[in-house]
Amino acid sequence: AAAKRKRGALPAGKAKRARRAPSAGEAAPEGVPRESGVPPQEYRIPPPVSQGKWKNKERVLIFSSRGINFRTRHLMQDLRTLMPHSKADTKMDRKDQLFVINEVCEMKNCNKCIFFEAKKKQDLYMWLSNTPQGPSAKFLVQNVHTLAELKMTGNCLRGSRPLLSFDPIFDREPHYALLKELFIQIFGTPQYHPKSQPFVDHVFTFTVTDERIWFRNYQIIEEDASLVEIGPRFVLNLIKIFQGSFGGPTLYENPHYQSPNMHRRLIRLSVAAKFREKQQVKEVQKIKKKGTKVLVEEDPTEVVFETPAEEKPVEIQLVKPESKPIVKDKKKLRKIQRKKQKKLFRTEG
């Protein structure tokens, strides 16, 4: 029986030989550089990029708690698609404490974590953590739009490594500098990752506007190096930065943060204030109507321009007036009137 060959092995006697370099009189082919330290008779073929060694072994666990809606579920799936170095896990029960996530990351062999926490089936919180030492940051996620929802024209290679673009304010403030390093370690795909592609064709942008961090994903077009948005997109409102993983001493607390419960309460109070104002206006109007009217003294000059009407003599009618016939048709009424007039003329004659 023929011996089994290993995958990619060449048969005996057909070993791959190095190509011979051109002599001094011959021109070198295009695209082939001459390497220093190599004999002039031969040149080496550079190995493919994928054969590099995977040194930065960052693994990100992306999962959520129970009670999330469909939009959050699609956002998680989009992040897993864009980040080839991510891993998935089942949903965590809401009764469990958050420090249990460190044990889950250890079992999954992950050193970073993105955890989505849903509350009241309408508020979404995102935890970014460096497990198990820390630090960790808690955000309120707003204005979520997924890939399927946006339906944009851009498209990028699956598994390609992204460029990370940060706003200049990330280098000015200390808490933003800490978040920048956390974003780089979580969203940056490690070089030579087995599931990644050796291409860079999209950009993750982190922009600070209105005290919030805006996340966008753009594709790099080769022709003119312009950007086309792909998605997903969302806004992160920073709440706190903790020293440990999912807890510990508070390093920074956002003074501009307003909880969703407080925001909804202020909306209800504003609506109630408008209703209360309308009721007060109605009560004031009722009091004005019930109040006594101020009598104005008579002005003696008002009678100057009044012209009295002519007094008509009082006539007492002793004979009952004749009843008028009720006729709906106007032609018949005219005929009756003519007959009466003829009778009057005859009696007078």
| pLDDT tens digit sequence for 167-219 | 999 999 999 999 999 999 999 999 888 888 888 889 999 999 999 999 999 99
Whether pTM > 0.95 for this model: the answer is no
Q: Is the pLDDT of residue 145 over 90?
A: yes
Q: Tokens at residue 175, please?
A: 């808490």
**In the chain, % of residues over pLDDT 90:** 48
Tell me the mean pLDDT in the region 278-292. Answer: 87
* CATH of the domain spanning 60-262: 3.40.50.10480
Query: CA torsion sign, 241 to 104 to 99 to 81?
Result: positive
pLDDT of residue 326: 67
Mean pLDDT (the chain) is 83
Q: Please, which pLDDT band fits residue 309 given cuts at 50, 70 and 90?
A: confident
DSSP letter for each residue of 26-37: SPPPTT-PPPTT
Q: Kindly report, residue by residue over 11-64, the tens digit of the pLDDT.
A: 444 444 444 545 544 444 444 455 455 455 566 765 445 567 888 888 999 999
pLDDT of residue 239: 95
pLDDT of residue 297: 79
Longest dimension (CA), the chain: 156
Q: Kindly report, residue by residue over 227-276, the tens digit of the pLDDT.
A: 889 889 999 999 999 999 998 999 999 999 999 999 999 999 999 999 99
**In the chain, % of residues over pLDDT 70:** 84
Q: Which three-class secondary structure state does DSSP give residue 136?
A: strand
Distance from C-alpha of 137 to C-alpha of 176, rounded to nearest angstrom = 11
Determine contact, residues 206/164, Cβ cutoff 8 Å.
Answer: yes
Q: Tokens at residue 227, please?
A: 């950007």
Residue 21 CA, chain-centre distance (Å), reads 59
Q: Tokens at residue 10, please?
A: 């060449």
Q: Is the pLDDT of residue 134 over 50?
A: yes
DSSP letter for each residue of 14-72: -PPPPPBPP-SSSPPPTT-PPPTTS-TTB-PPPPPGGGS-------EEEEEBTT--HHH
Give strand pairing partners of 115. 63, 127
Least confident of 106-110, 220-224, 296-300, 329-333: 329-333
pLDDT of residue 41: 59
Query: CA torsion sign, 114 to 119 to 125 to 130?
Result: negative
Distance from C-alpha of 245 to C-alpha of 266, rounded to nearest angstrom = 33
Q: Which three-class secondary structure state does DSSP give residue 174?
A: helix
3-state SS, one letter per residue, for 74-128: HHHHHHHHHCCCEEECCCECCCCCCCHHHHHHHHCCCCEEEEEEEECCCEEEEEE
Q: Tokens at residue 121, please?
A: 């089936």
